[in-house]
Amino acid sequence: MLLSGCSSSGGQFGKTYNSVQTGATKDQVRAAMGQPDSRFIGRVGSARNTGDPRGTLSGTFPHGTPFEVWRYTRGNTEYRMYFGAAPGLASSDWRLVNREAVPLNVAP
């Protein structure tokens, strides 16, 4: 699995973010980080895809693969947790496949 993310100095939340590893379940991410501020379900490469504006998942999954992103905004950083689909798995069983910390007010 691919892990791309910026190292962030977001205090305790940043440390928690840095401790969550790819492969974590949604329940594990929620237990560590709490409920996300927002969620988005999309498909890799979709023209209407606003959940992955930087194309973070396009090198990880084939075009059209469903994914979900959880966003947490703390201070001047948006922490994004990407969950990916696997054939035959319900979305509740998707695993963390990527994450990134993006400074706010910066182009996607």
pLDDT tens digits along 23-82: 999 999 999 999 999 999 888 887 665 667 667 777 777 888 888 999 999 999 999 999
- Residue 3, pLDDT > 50, answer no
* 81 falls within a domain: yes
The answer to whether the predicted template modeling score (pTM) of the entire model surpasses 0.75 is yes
Query: Can you give the residue range of the structural domain that contains 91?
Result: 11-103
Kindly list the distances between the CA atom of residue 97 and the CA atoms of 12, 59, 75, 107, in Å, as whole numbers in the listed order. Answer: 22, 12, 24, 23
* 5 falls within a domain: no
- Residue 6, pLDDT > 60, answer no
Work out the pLDDT band at 85, boundaries 50, 70, 90.
Answer: confident
* 32 falls within a domain: yes
* 72 falls within a domain: yes
* 3 falls within a domain: no
Whether 80 and 99 have beta carbons less than 8 Å apart is answered as yes
* 65 falls within a domain: yes
Residue 49 confidence (pLDDT): 58
CATH number, domain containing residue 36: 3.30.1450
3-class DSSP assignment, residue 100:
strand
Q: How many domains does the chain have?
A: 1
